[in-house]
A and B are shown apart, each in its own frame.
Chain A
Amino acid sequence: MPRAFDPITLEILWRRLISIVDEADSSVARTAFSSLLRDAHDYTCMFTDRLGRELAQGSFATPGQSGAMALGIKNLIKKFPLDHYQPGDVFITNDPWALAGHLNDVCVMSPIYYKEQLVAFTACVFHHSDIGGRVASDNHDVFEEGLFIPVVKLYHRGVLNESVMDMIRWNVRTPDEVIGDIRSQIAANHVCAEKVRQMLKESNLDTLDDLADQVIGLTEKGMREEIEKIPDGVYDARGIIEQVKGKGDIVIQAKVEIRGSDIIVDLDGSSGQVDWGGNVVFNFTYAYVFMAVKSMFAPDIPNNDGCARPIQLSAPEGTVVNCKFPAAVAARMGVGHFLTEVIYRALSNVLPNRVIAGSGGTPAAMNVFYGRRKDGKPWHSVIIRGGGMGAGANNDGNYVYIFPANGANTPVEIFESDTPLIVEKRELLVDSCGLGTMKGGLGKREIFKVPDDQYAPIPPVNLGIQAGRYVYPAEGLFEGKPGSKAQFLVNGIPGNSYGLTQLIPGDVVTIDAPGGGGYGNPLEREPEMVASDVIEGYVSLESARNDYGVVVNPVTGEIDREETKRLRQLRIKNEKVLNS
């Protein structure tokens, strides 16, 4: 007989579930080694019921990881009969198809027992900045990309399998860091398991089953109520993503159907899988479809299995959005992150206030620098970066953020103390925002120099880049204009934007992060907002006049009302003629 919780008790216990994961989550910040984890929070902790249904995840979880994990863990748990699990077991895997879509995302998972019964699973995925392999997005298959760890037991009944640790240690460039971070994962799961047991004890429960049913059921109901408000219909959108020169564009074709309280997303018609690392596994595609739906309909409900239930996704196998083993997948964010904006675009007409234009932080860009100092000591550092976010109906785009993923930058002073390189610039790019009634977020320029004086490292300095938007900028919405494009220059000349670049002392690298798309016609932007942008130096005087039709005195910030009116009227008239 299932126990029914009244709405107050339910809320109290639900909160406790979330606080358990947050405690595990905060333990990571204190024990992790790599700055990608500590400073950039590129990890996700969650726990599920004994059937693998997600119950709670860390409040600062990364959407790509958490969405993919929610699906992945459920399938993983089903792989074995429940009696296969034993107290003290710890599993580890980085199988991209099983979990989060590339080898760097390593998952550590453990069953949780209470009163000798299996009651839940705890898992966390960390993005390890090093997993061996050839660090670049132009690998041809997953074997080139690094160490592949199938689902194996790291601990069996509490006893460490040293061979697995050794296997990992000898396949990565920075073993102390990688092993240290795996230990941090084990510790986080340990915290979670302890707290789950404590909660069951304090709440007089033997299992989580009834609580899980009700938390998930309630969440599903909440999601469905929001979806139901949208008129039924089929809404289409298409995303075009560039590839390396000489290769055709990748197309994401999305058909989004709202049927009652269900959302059915069909990606049939999307491009076939590619011969480089841009392929996306089904879980990861799902994660960013989920991100779009969740952020539009119920951003404030805590994530669990119930949020996912109204969403059905189909993506034909062998396409770039559901690739087959052994496709290369290291740069899966280069395609996967676009799914969110494609879904936004499809639903922009029915939900104009809940979407934003294309973002410069789609895809998240990753710059991996490594090499040897002049004394031969190896170094390795990763900078992830976003761009300007797309504008919304009532807000300019924020900057400079990774979106729809998330993450933090590496401070220049930390980067310079970890590497022999010099950062010459990290600043906002004037006029990089997409024009609009609401303007897109600004992009950013960073310049790196390889020293050629007594600090010169032993060449080469390797730079692996995973990025996008070099050809197609972030698009605007409702007459808003696109943001600026990405750029990668070596000594002022466009470099290999997708692969591995070898630099020598004296080289200077420029990396421009793209701007976000605008929303609405720029000629309708409040002149005062344009004037303020000019005074602060976000928008040039020329752009104010030529693009926004606003004439501003650059010293006083005063607006020439007459001239502005005249310019704008003329422009609107001309646009009408041109459009007809």
Chain B
Amino acid sequence: MRDKYYRLGCDIGGTFTDFVLLNDQTGEITTGKCLTTPRDPSDAVEEGIRALEATAPDFVAKLDELIHGTTLVINSIIERKGAITGLITTKGFRDVLEIGREIRYAPYDVFAEFPKPLVPRRYRTEVDERVRSDGSVIKALDTEEARQTVRALLDMGVESIAVCLLNSFENPSHELMLLEIIEKEAPGISVSISYHVLPQIKEYERTSTTVTNAYVKPLTGRYLSKLAARLESIGFKGKLFIMLSSGGVTSVETAAEFPVRIIESGPTAAVIAGQYYGKHFNIPEMFCFDMGGTTAKSCLIQKGVAGVVPTFEVGRVQRFMKGSGLTIQVPVVDLMEIGAGGGSIAKVSKLGTLQVGPESSGADPGPICYGRGGTGPCVTDADLLLGYLDENYFLGGTMNLDKESARRGVEEGIAKPLGVSFIQAVWGIHDLINETMAAAAKTHIAEKGGNPKIVTIAAFGGAGPVHAYGLAKKLGAPRLLVPPNAGVGSAMGFFTAPRAFDLLRSHKVPLASVNFSEIEDIFRGLEADAGKILKKEATDEMIRYERSLDMRFVGQGSEINVPVPAGDFTKLQRADIRRFFDDVYKKLYGRTYPESEVEFINFKIRASLPERLLQLPRFSRKKGQSLDAAIKGQRPAYSPIARDFIPYTVYDRYKLFPAAEFQGPAIIEEKESTLIVGEDGHVSIDDFGFLWIDLKEV
């Protein structure tokens, strides 16, 4: 019997810090929540842990792992609270960071704003050196001049230094020399060099990523060591892991070295939970749909695996406008976020049509029905007026909703000015936000080569289950899945995330002429580096390596990722590689062009340790449980099929039991959320307490 059998997931969000405690012996799950403490986030961590001790006495000493996700890094970028950062670049290129890619993201808006670079121009310096695109040296680094450059930056008071030289992904020697000089001139200062952060072609993207890493590195390091010390002081003797944006977890040391990789660590947990459910229930295509107060985040999970994309943006100056943020190029779970939530505000557009979102009333003042001063009708107001929410059972009845004011708000603000009936207006708000989400979902699913007509939608978040049925109808999706405690469901991801680390190197070379042993060397080098990182976390376990190639037709603008078998690359034939490429290309774009040559751009590996499985607790029907007993009553709610209010049966989710099933129209209430099922939906409950809703084909 192991003496450490607890695992704790802890997610620090903007408002709340959430906790999920798992007892691996019993499968029992306990949850907790407390207010985030921005001044020292570890205060909230300790407070939450103390609160959990009430139900699980002395669990801290029995904790095997604590897995942590945080929005600290992303917030410090958005609020510009990072370190004073200096940048060293190749002579002639100090402005790469500011010039960017030069595209205007809003072609007709001449006043569109752009984000300011994290390193102001005065802190951007140059060294005289040059490497060619094939890695050969044109001009060797002048080490004396480099030393002076470093000193000058230090004299200006920089706290962190980023180094990004042209073509360094092909030959990092100059960057490594600079690293040595910096460490000598200023022992202990925070340094980030592009070859370590992201050895990938395209200088702007690489510089931006390296600079962002440097910008948040000092504060992330301080925070993580403080957290580790705090945990130790309360008796924690287990391992501390940090969630990566790519969906793996890593050690504190690695997270502190590459904080740019944990930027999206919070929202990623929901996706990882989705992956787990996808595998557990063997769902070929699952659309994870997490709708909260201000945004909806979603992600397509195919065969239990979420997509990982190589790039994303942080701190968009125009909310949700692609191109208006800082580019970060590290692997991140392919999460689509749009401005659609319960707090999205409805109004009449300039052209006299209805508009819902992306502006949100947030939690404060919130929708009109919250009675906290909100005056603009919101999606939650419409959901209440449609009968989907119960004014007396919101958040389990802890909050009463003001239906009358909401009614007036929609009547005056929407129905009258648009000249439509009250019903048209409320249904319109609900339906339009679903349309917005469906449009984004379709593009997202299509981009991943998925098919909306076969996806199972997994609904999370406060508003997810309220809108999942409508979204499914718009996508033509046949099935919904709603995990128990949808709010906690996402934090389960902490327990199922693999310990994994992704590395890559750019090297552009055609398939026809490449030397396979050279490729094998690149892969081995990457695997050795990743192995070092993982061995810090567990020495005795088997590390698994996965290899893939980013490939494209020669001259094509973008690449596709092509997995290749692990193990000796030189054993492969050119024809094998070509076949792998054609298969992936065909799947994505319908056809391929065998006569056109292909080339390699990036070499990627993922090193991972075996997943620790999670046993979902099983339930069985208890004595006296019956459907009748689970029915709270009936209430009229809107049916888009009948185009009118019809009676919906209201169920108490906590009284439902395995193997129970029933037909819609139904409303299933739990504390944090409400599930809506139309009359064409059939609900069944499995042994794990998950709700499955099958929809008739449209």
**Interface residue ranges, A against B (CB under 8 Å):** 6-8, 10-12, 14-16, 19, 22-23, 26-27, 29-35, 37-41, 60-63, 174, 176-177, 180, 183, 187, 202, 218-219, 221-222, 291, 294-295, 298-301, 303, 356, 385-386, 389, 392, 395, 398-403, 406-409, 411-414, 416-418, 422-428, 444, 447, 455, 535-538
Contact = CB atoms under 8 A, between A and B. Distances in A.
9 smallest CB-CB distances across A and B, nearest first, come from A38-B557, A8-B428, A425-B92, A19-B439, A11-B353, A408-B103, A416-B133, A417-B133, A536-B121
B96 A536 contact: no
A187 B586 CA distance: 13
B436 interface: yes
Nearest to A14: B353
Nearest to A13: B435
Contact of A427 (B92, B102, B110, B420): B92
Contact of B588 (A30, A400, A407, A447): A30
B424 interface: yes
Given A8-B420, A301-B351, A538-B121, A386 B102 contact: yes
B555 interface: yes
Interface stretch (B8-16, B179-187, B237-245, B589-597): B589-597
Most B CB within 10 A of own CB, among A29, A40, A395, A412: A412
26 contacts: A8-B354, A19-B440, A19-B442, A33-B553, A33-B556, A33-B557, A40-B103, A61-B107, A63-B107, A218-B353, A295-B110, A299-B110, A300-B109, A356-B111, A386-B102, A398-B114, A401-B104, A403-B104, A407-B103, A409-B101, A411-B203, A413-B133, A414-B202, A416-B132, A422-B138, A444-B95
Contacts of A538: 121
Given A19-B443, A295-B108, A299-B108, A11 B354 contact: yes
Contacts of A19: 439-440, 442-443
A423 B120 CA distance: 24
Interface in B111-143: 111-114, 120-122, 130, 132-133, 138
A418 B202 CA distance: 13
Contacts of A423: 92
A253 B121 CA distance: 41
Most A CB within 10 A of own CB, among B95, B102, B106: B102
B223 interface: no
A161 to B, nearest CB: 18
Contacts of B431: 8, 12
Nearest to B351: A222
Most B CB within 10 A of own CB, among A37, A398, A417, A536: A417
Contacts of A62: 107
B420 to A, nearest CB: 5
Contacts of A356: 110-111
Contacts of B439: 15-16, 19
Contact of A301 (B105, B350, B446, B555): B350
B349 to A, nearest CB: 7
Contacts of A27: 446, 589
Contacts of A218: 351-353
B166 A176 contact: no
Contacts, number: 206
A426 B555 contact: no
B476 to A, nearest CB: 8
Nearest to A38: B557
A71 to B, nearest CB: 17
A176 B418 contact: no
A31 B354 contact: no
Interface string B81-112: 00000000000111110110111111111111
A413 B201 contact: yes
Contacts of A187: 589-590
Contacts of B114: 398
A6 B355 CA distance: 13
Given A7-B353, A40-B103, A426-B99, A16 B555 contact: no
B101 A408 contact: yes
Contact of A389 (B110, B436, B556): B110
Q: How large is the interface on B (under 10, 10 to 19, 20 to 34, 35 or more residues)?
A: 35 or more
B85 to A, nearest CB: 15
Contacts of A32: 556-558
Contact of B555 (A174, A386, A427, A535): A174
Given A11-B349, A11-B353, A16-B439, 7 more contacts: A8-B353, A11-B354, A39-B101, A63-B108, A221-B351, A222-B351, A417-B133
B54 interface: no
Contacts of A401: 102-104
B695 to A, nearest CB: 15
Given A299-B109, A536-B121, A425 B99 contact: no
B360 interface: no
Given A180-B593, A417-B508, A428-B98, A23 B442 contact: yes
A427 B597 CA distance: 35
Contacts of A60: 105, 107
A208 to B, nearest CB: 18
Nearest to B435: A12
Contact of A23 (B113, B428, B443): B443
B425 interface: yes
A408 B102 CA distance: 5
Contacts of B555: 33-34, 174, 176-177, 180, 418
Contacts of B96: 412, 426
Nearest to B596: A176
B93 A412 contact: yes
A31 B110 contact: no
B432 interface: yes
Nearest to B439: A19
B3 interface: no
B575 interface: no
A6 B424 contact: yes
Nearest to B593: A180
Contacts of B558: 29-30, 32, 38
Contacts of B435: 12, 15-16
Interface in B173-231: 201-205
Interface in B586-611: 588-590, 593, 596-597
Nearest to B204: A411
B624 interface: no
B680 to A, nearest CB: 16
B419 interface: yes
B110 A34 contact: no
A176 B596 CA distance: 7
Contacts of B295: none
B447 interface: yes
A441 to B, nearest CB: 11
A39 B431 CA distance: 36
Contact of A35 (B350, B353, B446, B557): B557
B167 interface: yes
A176 B599 CA distance: 14
B557 A7 contact: no
Contacts of A402: 102, 104
A425 B91 CA distance: 7
B167 A30 contact: no
Nearest to A425: B92
Nearest to B121: A536
Contact of B92 (A6, A30, A180, A426): A426
Contacts of B122: 535-537
A392 B102 contact: no
A331 B209 CA distance: 37
B698 interface: yes
B509 to A, nearest CB: 10
B88 to A, nearest CB: 15
Interface in B294-345: none
A61 B103 CA distance: 12
A221 B108 CA distance: 19
Interface in B395-446: 418-420, 424-425, 428, 431-432, 435-436, 439-440, 442-443, 446
B351 A409 contact: no
